[in-house]
Amino acid sequence: MAVSLARAGLAGLAGAAAGALAQFGLVVVVTRTTSLEEAGSFLAAVALALMTAGICRLDAGNGLIFFISRAETYGYRGISGYLRAALVPSVALAVLAGVLFEPVLGPLAYAVPVMVAADILLAATRGFGSMRPTVLCDGLLLPFAQLVLVSAAAWGAVSLMPVAWAVPYGVVLVLAMAALRGRMPHTPYLPGTGRDLWRHTGPRAVAGAIQAVFQRLDLVIVAVLGGPAQAAVYAAATRFRVVGQLANQGLAQAAQPRLVRAMAAGDLPRARELYQTTTMWLVLLTWPVWLGYAAVAPWLMRIFGAGYDAAIPIALVLSATMMISTACGMVDVVLTAAGHTAASLRNLLCALAVTVALDVALIPAHGAFGAAVGWSGGVLVKNLLPLWQLHQRYGLRPFGRHTLRVREWALT
C-alpha cells in the first residue's frame, strides 16, 4: 500500500513542487520590480480573488470526487447529472460575486467564474482516478504561465499585472473540459441527483468557503489594518507556506478517493494505513523544507529586495507551525471522507474565529508579525481539533506501525 500510494501521489507532489517554485518566482518578480505599496496592493487583490473563488466553489469539486468514486461500483450511472448539479450553482454564484466585487477586484473579477469552473472540472477527473490533468494544468501550466505573463507585465506595464495573472485560467478551463470529455459518460439525469449531491456537500460547502477565507484572509486583513507595505512583507515571508499546502494537496488528491471507498466500506484498517502512510510522507517531504527555511531565512528574505528584513521572524513562526501541522497528517480529509462534514465545519469556524481575533488584536501594534501569530493560532486549532476527533471516534492516529513501513521503503 505504501509503495502504491507513493506512486499515485508522486505526480501530484512533483506538480506541487514545480507550482510552488513558480509562485515563489512570481512574488520575487513583483517585489523586486514594484514598490512595497504596489506589490502589497497587487498581492492583496490576488488573495481576495482566490478567496472569492474558493467561496464560490461551494466545495463542489470534493462532492464530485465523493460521488464519482462511489459510482464506480454501479457503472457510473447518472454521473453526468452530478457534474451539472455541481457546476451550475457554483458558476452562477461566481458570476454574481464577480459583478458585485468588480469595483474592488477590477479585471480579476472576470476571472472568478472561470477559476471556479476549471477547479470543479479538474476535480471530476480526479474522481475518475486520473491525476494527469490536475498535475499538468493546475500544477504546471497555470503557475508557470502566470509567472511568465506577470513578469512581462511587471517590466512593461504594472497596471496589466492583474490581467496577466488571470488569463491562464481560461486556458486551464479549456484543457480541463477536453480532459473530462473522454472520461465522463453521457447518462440520463436521474431524479434526486442534485439533492443527493448537495445534501452531502452542503455542510462542506460552508466549510470550503471558510477554508478559502482562512487561507487568504490574513493577507487581506494585513492590507486593511497595516497597509499595503506590511501586506507585501507578509506575502513575501509566507510565500513558502504554499509548499506545505501543495504537498498536502498533492497527496490528498491521490489518497482522497481511496479514503472515501475505505470509509464507505467500513474498512477501518485500510483507512488507518492510508492515513499513517500519507502522514509519514508529508513529514519526510516537508520537514527538511521547513527546517531549511528557518535556517536560511535571514539570507532568503534578501531575494525580495530592500525593506523585507522584517519578514525573518514571520518565517520562523511559519516553519514551526507547518511542522506541527504536517505531523497531524490529512486530518480534515480523513474526517470528511468518513462523512463528518458538519464536524469539519465546526472545526474551521473555531480556527477562523481564533485567527480573526488574534489578527484584530495584534496587527495594529505588530503589523505583519501579528498576522503570522494569528494565522499560526488558527492552523493549530484547525489541525488539533480533528486529530482529537478521529482518535475519539475511530482510534486513528497519524503515526503507527504503517509509519515504519514508509520509512523503510524511503530509505531503500
Per residue of the chain (412 residues), give pLDDT as tens: 444 544 545 555 666 667 778 888 899 999 999 988 899 999 999 999 999 999 999 989 988 888 887 766 555 566 778 888 999 999 999 999 999 999 888 899 999 999 999 999 999 988 887 778 888 898 889 999 999 999 999 888 888 999 999 999 999 999 999 998 877 766 666 666 788 888 888 877 887 788 888 888 888 899 988 898 899 999 888 877 766 566 666 666 666 677 777 777 777 788 788 888 888 888 887 888 888 888 888 888 888 887 888 888 998 999 999 899 888 888 887 887 777 878 888 898 999 999 999 999 999 999 999 999 999 999 999 999 999 998 888 888 888 766 666 555 544 4
Q: Tell me, what's the pLDDT at 336? A: 78
Q: Tell me, what's the pLDDT at 195? A: 85
Give the SS3 label for residue 53.
helix
Q: Are 83 and 186 in contact (CB under 8 A)?
A: no
**Cβ-Cβ contacts under 8 Å for 179 (sequence gap 6 or more):** 121, 122, 125, 130, 132, 133, 137
Q: Are 54 and 211 in contact (CB under 8 A)?
A: yes
Q: Are 69 and 260 in contact (CB under 8 A)?
A: yes
Angle between helices 112-127 and 79-100 (to 10 degrees): 160
Q: Tell me, what's the pLDDT at 1? A: 47
Q: What is the pTM of this model?
A: 0.77
Domain regions of the chain by residue span = 2-411
**Cβ-Cβ contacts under 8 Å for 399 (sequence gap 6 or more):** 276, 279, 280
Q: Tell me, what's the pLDDT at 324? A: 92
Q: Tell me, what's the pLDDT at 24? A: 84
Q: Given CA atoms 27, 28, 32, 33 in this order, what sign does their dihedral have?
A: negative
